[in-house]
């Protein structure tokens, strides 16, 4: 496996075209956390984003209420997004169902592009430097959202159909690891 990422080209399309095969190669690492960590790093540094990261859908566990051997109920109301591998400034660790851009993408199971985070009602500001963002759901075999891919820019309206297409390919690469 390559130990560094090489980006060629000047346009966004050319940069993604050189990055995507390298992300595919990074996804061959069998350990999920190692693979995701490198994929996120490649995205952030390869494309020069302000922030890139994964949120996992996880059960809210109130450990004091659990007896030994008990499992939390597997219901959406009992789930939340919890910060996973990311690159960039410190971010909020937990996001509720339907909350913020990430929770909206989770609830509606669709990609969301926000040109100006100040205009998105309920946007969760992890950094005042973040100006626009794109959030994509990552879906499991059962059709449920399992993770969220969140990419932030420090420029307004920095994400367009080119980003959506390329990042959807990244999502499919991640889905292929999760669902294999
Ligand atoms: N802005 C996101 C929160 C995550 S941070 O941007 C890393 C949201 O509104 O869901």
Distance (angstroms) between ligand 1 centre and the Cα of 165 equals 21
pLDDT at 160 over 80: yes
- Say how far residue 58 (Cα) sits from the centre of its chain: 14
pTM of the prediction?
0.92
What would the two tokens of residue 22 be?
Answer: 């390298």
For ligand 1, atom 2, the nearest C-alpha belongs to 124
Provide the CB-side half-sphere exposure for 71 (13 A, CA).
Answer: 4
**Cβ 101 under 6 angstroms from ligand 1:** yes
**Cβ 44 under 6 angstroms from ligand 1:** no
pLDDT at 36 over 70: yes
Name the CA dihedral angle for 156, 21, 176, 86, rounded to a multiple of 10 degrees.
Answer: -40
**Cβ 151 under 6 angstroms from ligand 1:** no
Across residues 26-43, what is the average pLDDT? Answer: 97
**Cβ 32 under 6 angstroms from ligand 1:** no
Q: Which atom of ligand 1 lies nearest, measured to the CA of 51?
A: 7
- pLDDT for 83-134, tens place per residue? 999 999 999 999 999 999 999 999 999 999 999 999 999 999 999 999 999 9
What Rg value do the Cα atoms of the chain yield, rounded? 16
Across residues 151-164, what is the average pLDDT? Answer: 98
State residue 131's pLDDT score.
Answer: 97
pLDDT at 10 over 70: yes
Across residues 127-147, what is the average pLDDT? Answer: 95
Domain 12-178, classified CATH 3.20.20.70, yes or no: no
Between CA 94 and CA 12 the distance in angstroms is 31
Across residues 10-33, what is the average pLDDT? Answer: 97
Across residues 124-150, what is the average pLDDT? Answer: 95
Question: For 107, which DSSP code?
Answer: H
- pLDDT for 49-80, tens place per residue? 999 999 999 988 765 666 666 666 656 778 99
The pLDDT mean for the chain works out to 93
Q: Which atom of ligand 1 lies nearest, measured to the CA of 91?
A: 7
State residue 1's pLDDT score.
Answer: 60
For ligand 1, atom 7, the nearest C-alpha belongs to 91
């Amino acid at each position: 496996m390559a130990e560094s990422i090489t980006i060629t080209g000047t346009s966004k399309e050319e940069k993604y075209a050189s990055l995507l095969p390298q992300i595919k190669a990074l996804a061959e690492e069998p350990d999920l956390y190692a693979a995701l960590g490198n994929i996120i790093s490649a995205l952030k540094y390869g494309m020069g984003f302000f922030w890139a990261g994964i949120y996992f859908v996880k059960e809210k566990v109130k450990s004091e209420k659990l007896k030994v051997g008990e499992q939390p109920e597997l219901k959406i109301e009992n789930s939340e997004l919890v910060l996973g591998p990311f690159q960039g400034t410190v971010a909020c660790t937990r996001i509720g169902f339907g909350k913020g851009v990430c929770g909206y993408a989770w609830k509606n199971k669709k990609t969301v592009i926000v040109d100006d985070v100040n205009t998105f009602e309920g946007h969760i500001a992890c950094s005042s430097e973040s100006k626009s963002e794109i959030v994509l759901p990552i879906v499991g075999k059962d059709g449920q959202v399992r993770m969220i891919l969140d990419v932030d820019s420090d420029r307004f309206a920095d994400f367009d159909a080119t980003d959506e297409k390329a990042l959807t390919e990244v999502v499919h690469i991640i889905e292929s690891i999760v669902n294999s």
